[in-house]
């Protein structure tokens, strides 16, 4: 099979297309012919060594495709089924072995590439809006990178739950995308905290921040007393150490650094979130914007574009 392999951490150039032996599913595992793999910032963090994983490895934490074979003891999944997964590595390949407990059935009528485009980021947007801060009608929330893959989904889901959404973007093109997703107000990053205060009076009840170092201080300053700061990513770099007194000075603020894994740790929680996300997509209430589809050989280019923030919505690799 063909796979992108990382043998040493570093820049996009370490992503090497390689021929590997076809894998075999073990007990409780499923072999999938990958139709599409999602490209996410966590793949960049793994490639750079910011989130260390044993070398060598095949990156990619999200994918979808057709079941080719099942291992011993697997029930409820059969060859020919269309499935998707998230938070399991190995997606940048023509074939992947995935634990059956982590697989999601792709609803009839949904293509595999659409499932690959929405699973990881859709589940992320779901846990942020339903569990980290449960968005309620009338809430005012700030979504950074509102035209990005997670940002567009966050904006739409927060609107479905009745929120007023303020988004940040870097260009006019991205502003148009954020507004089409339902953002009520769209700001540039320069001076955004002051603008949020002017729009809301007391600040927002939650900030969803996947940018990190460049926006962190302004994000805290955008919160109302007892507001929630959800730092779910660090696209601009890691945040320096924080003095907890900053949370007190802001009015008993909450700060969390969530990741997807603990929010889909059980089968029940995984399928609950996926059923909501896939259901919204099927009904047309949640739109998925795919900005580019690349062959596996162009994985480095996809990473370069993602890191340089030249993308909107989702990037896919097609084996």
Q: What percent of the chain has pLDDT over 90?
A: 97
**Any residues with CB less than 8 A from the CB of 217 and at least 6 apart, and which?**
193
Q: What percent of the chain has pLDDT over 70?
A: 100
Residues 9 and 57 placed together within one structural domain of the fold: yes
DSSP letters spanning 99-136: EGGG-EEPPTT--HHHHHHHHHHHHHHHHIIIIIS---
Q: Which residues pair with residue 300 across a beta bridge?
A: none
Task: Determine the average pLDDT of the residues in 270-296.
Answer: 97
Q: What is the CATH number of the domain that holds 70?
A: 3.90.180.10
Q: Is residue 61 part of a domain?
A: yes
Please check whether residue 35 is in contact with residue 113, taking contact to mean a CB–CB distance below 8 angstroms.
yes
Q: Is residue 42 part of a domain?
A: yes
Q: Domain span at residue 88?
A: 2-110+282-318
Q: Is residue 169 part of a domain?
A: yes
pLDDT of residue 309: 85
Q: How many domains does the chain have?
A: 2
What's the mean per-residue pLDDT of the chain? Answer: 97
Residues 237 and 298 placed together within one structural domain of the fold: no
Distance, first Cα to last Cα, the chain: 10
197 CB-contact burial (10 Å; exposed 0-12 / middle 13-18 / buried 19+): middle
Q: pLDDT tens-digit profile of 237-256?
A: 999 999 999 999 999 999 99
Q: pLDDT tens-digit profile of 11-44?
A: 999 999 999 999 999 999 999 999 999 999 999 9
Query: What is the band of 231 on the pLDDT scale with cuts at 50, 70, 90?
Result: very high
Q: pLDDT tens-digit profile of 252-267?
A: 999 999 999 999 999 9
Please check whether residue 175 is in contact with residue 110, taking contact to mean a CB–CB distance below 8 angstroms.
no
pTM of the entire predicted model: 0.96
Query: What is the band of 186 on the pLDDT scale with cuts at 50, 70, 90?
Result: very high
Q: What is the CATH number of the domain that holds 234?
A: 3.40.50.720
Q: Is residue 68 part of a domain?
A: yes
Strand, coil or helix: 276: helix
Q: Is the pLDDT of residue 284 over 90?
A: yes
């Amino acid at each position: 099979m063909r796979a992108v392999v990382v043998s040493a951490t570093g820049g996009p150039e370490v992503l090497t297309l390689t021929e590997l032996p076809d894998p075999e599913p073990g007990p409780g595992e499923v072999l999938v012919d990958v139709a599409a793999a999602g490209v996410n910032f966590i793949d960049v963090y793994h490639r750079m060594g910011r989130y260390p994983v044993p070398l060598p490895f095949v990156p990619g934490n999200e994918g979808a495709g057709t079941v080719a074979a099942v291992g011993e003891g697997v029930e409820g999944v059969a060859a020919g089924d269309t499935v998707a997964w998230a938070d399991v590595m190995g997606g940048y390949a023509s074939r992947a072995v995935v634990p059956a407990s982590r697989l999601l059935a792709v609803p009839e009528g949904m293509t595999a590439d659409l499932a690959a485009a929405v699973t990881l980021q859709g589940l992320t947007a779901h846990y942020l809006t339903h569990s980290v801060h449960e968005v309620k009608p009338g809430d005012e929330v700030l979504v950074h990178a509102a035209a990005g893959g997670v940002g567009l989904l966050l904006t739409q889901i927060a609107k479905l739950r009745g929120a007023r959404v303020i988004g940040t973007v870097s260009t006019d093109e991205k502003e148009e995308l954020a507004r089409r997703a339902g953002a009520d107000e769209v700001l540039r990053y320069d001076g955004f905290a002051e603008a949020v205060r002017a729009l809301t009076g007391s600040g927002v009840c939650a900030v969803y921040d996947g940018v990190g170092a460049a926006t962190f201080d302004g994000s805290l300053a955008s919160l109302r007393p007892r507001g929630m700061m959800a730092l779910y990513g660090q696209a601009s770099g890691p945040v320096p150490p924080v003095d907890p007194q900053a949370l007190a000075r802001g009015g008993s603020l909450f700060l969390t650094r969530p990741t997807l894994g603990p929010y889909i740790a059980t089968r029940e929680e995984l399928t609950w979130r996926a059923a909501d996300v896939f259901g919204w997509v099927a009904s047309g209430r949640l739109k998925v914007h795919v900005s580019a589809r690349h062959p596996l050989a162009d994985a480095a280019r996809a990473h370069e574009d993602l890191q340089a923030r030249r993308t909107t919505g989702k990037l896919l690799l097609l084996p």
